[in-house]
């Protein structure tokens, strides 16, 4: 059986079981967020075993840059589709996507997905060619339909409308490659890898060291480097030349995701200033989740209960408009964060 030789990154998840069914199905999912395969493989829910965590896994991950990650070997069943029977017979693939409807994927991810599916079909005779009718009633009948989707098994939008609406086209693309034929691939939107420079100076935005900023979609892919959409940067170096202000990303809060090339200010925007810490907050709900990192993409480690708590650091992150606060009790290991949407400063 083996695994795909197209894999560029490997981090095997402990969340798997030996298969009890031959492979005869593929299930394409979407990961909400334009991430590389390496980034997704490091998600807490794929790695940590915690009774309060949303433990999950998949066989493969396709990143926004076309990277391919191995999370669970093909010989094993992943925890991916909210249905054990499906996951025992399916190779599951998570594809990085946009953060809102229709959850589009980049051209690089689309091409990598097609290449991966061709390889999977070639190595797994139980799949052969891909069959798609968009018919939920055909689940478990791979001779008629051997592609399934997460939304058929749970109340989810996965794999997002962008990928779901292209399942017939994906099958046609893959099958044409398998039989030596050709087919026309639809246009796939993709962020520009290198933003075009403005022709006039931009003097409306000024930056200084320590500013909290967000990167626009174009800047996220500057020179092919992926950077999270919301990220706190400690050090910004501001340059001004004939084409306007530029800043260089030096280090993120965790020392990662450096971009050492100037980015024009037009691709950045200031967000709320970092508040003075520490400070106290009042929590009035009994089930405020404590996350292992600043965002809903990190696993849960428990709840706060009602009371007054000390916040020692604030960061932006997914799932919270007001940002995420690090609780003092978790300061040493930096693994206890709460959404400030549910906290009142006292």
Tell me the domain boundaries of the chain: 9-179, 212-270, 279-345
The mean of the pLDDT values for the chain is: 80
Bigger pLDDT: 179 vs 132 = 132
CB contact at 8 A, 169 and 110 = no
Q: Would you call 40 helix, strand, or coil by DSSP? A: helix
Instruction: Give the pLDDT band of residue 233 (cuts 50, 70, 90).
Output: very low
Instruction: Give the pLDDT band of residue 243 (cuts 50, 70, 90).
Output: very low
The rounded distance, in Å, linking the Cα atoms of 132 and 123 is: 20
What value, to the nearest 5°, has the Cα angle with vertex 32 and ends 29 and 37? 75
Bigger pLDDT: 45 vs 87 = 87
> What token pair was written down for 176?
């044409």
- Beta bridge mates, 343: 283
- Burial of 131 by CB count in 10 Å (0-12 exposed, 13-18 middle, 19+ buried)? middle
Q: Which of 4-8, 92-96, 174-178, 293-297 has the lowest mean pLDDT?
A: 293-297
CB contact at 8 A, 77 and 83 = no
What value, to the nearest 5°, has the Cα angle with vertex 319 and ends 315 and 321? 65
Whether 189 shows a pLDDT value over 60: the answer reads no
CATH code of the region 279-345 = 2.30.30.40
Residues 6+ apart with CB under 8 A from 342: 283, 284, 285, 288
> Length of the chain in residues, anyone?
346
Judging by DSSP bridges, how do beta strands 9-10 and 68-70 pair with one another?
A: parallel
The rounded distance, in Å, linking the Cα atoms of 309 and 230 is: 25
Question: Residues 251, 190, 37, 247: what is their CA dihedral angle, to the nearest 10 degrees?
Answer: 0
Cα separations in angstroms, 153 against 27, 137, 250: 11, 12, 44
Give the count of beta carbons closer than 10 Å to the beta carbon of residue 72. 25
Measured in degrees and rounded to the nearest 5, phi and psi for residue 308 equal -110, 135
The closest of 13, 15, 2, 7 to 37, measured between CA atoms, is 7
Whether 345 shows a pLDDT value over 90: the answer reads no
Q: Which of 38-47, 72-81, 136-145, 290-299 has the lowest mean pLDDT?
A: 38-47
Whether 172 shows a pLDDT value over 60: the answer reads yes
> What token pair was written down for 84?
């054990």
Q: What is the pLDDT of residue 320?
A: 86
Instruction: Give the pLDDT band of residue 202 (cuts 50, 70, 90).
Output: very low
- Beta bridge mates, 268: 215
> What token pair was written down for 345?
């400063």
CB burial readout 146-158, b (16+ within 10 A) else e: bbbbbbbbeeeeb
Whether 125 shows a pLDDT value over 90: the answer reads yes
Average pLDDT over residues 85-102: 94
Average pLDDT over residues 272-287: 81
The CATH architecture to which 9-179 belongs is 3-Layer(aba) Sandwich (3.40)
């Amino acid at each position: 059986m083996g695994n795909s030789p197209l894999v560029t990154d490997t981090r095997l998840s402990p969340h798997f079981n030996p298969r009890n069914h031959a492979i005869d199905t593929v299930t394409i999912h979407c990961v909400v967020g334009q991430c590389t395969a390496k980034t997704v493989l490091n998600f807490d829910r794929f790695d940590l075993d915690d009774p309060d965590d949303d433990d999950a896994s998949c066989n493969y991950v396709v990143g926004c840059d076309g990277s391919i990650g191995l999370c669970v070997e093909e010989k094993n069943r992943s925890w991916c589709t909210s249905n054990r029977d499906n996951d025992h017979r399916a190779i599951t693939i998570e594809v990085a996507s946009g953060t809102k409807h229709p959850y589009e994927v980049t051209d690089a991810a689309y091409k990598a997905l097609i290449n991966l599916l061709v390889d999977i079909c070639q190595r797994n005779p139980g799949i052969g060619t891909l069959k798609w009718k968009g018919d939920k009633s055909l689940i478990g009948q791979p001779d008629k339909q051997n592609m399934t989707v997460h939304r058929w098994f749970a109340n989810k939008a996965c794999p997002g409308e962008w990928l779901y609406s292209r399942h017939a086209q994906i099958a046609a693309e893959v099958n044409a490659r398998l039989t030596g034929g050709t087919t026309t691939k639809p246009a796939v939107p993709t962020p520009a890898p290198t933003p075009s420079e403005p022709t006039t100076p931009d003097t409306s935005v000024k930056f200084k060291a320590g500013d909290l900023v967000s990167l626009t979609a174009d800047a996220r892919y500057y020179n092919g480097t992926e950077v999270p959409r919301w990220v706190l940067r400690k050090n910004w170096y501001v340059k001004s030349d004939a084409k306007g202000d530029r800043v260089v990303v030096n280090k993120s809060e965790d020392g990662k995701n450096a971009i050492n090339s100037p980015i024009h200010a037009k691709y950045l925007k200031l967000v709320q200033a970092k508040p003075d810490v520490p400070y106290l907050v009042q929590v009035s709900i009994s089930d405020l989740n404590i996350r292992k990192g600043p965002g809903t993409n990190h696993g849960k480690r428990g709840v706060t209960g009602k009371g007054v708590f000390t916040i020692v650091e604030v960061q932006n992150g997914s799932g919270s408009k007001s940002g995420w606060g690090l609780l003092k009790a978790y300061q040493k290991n930096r693994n206890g964060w709460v959404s400030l949407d549910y906290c009142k400063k006292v």
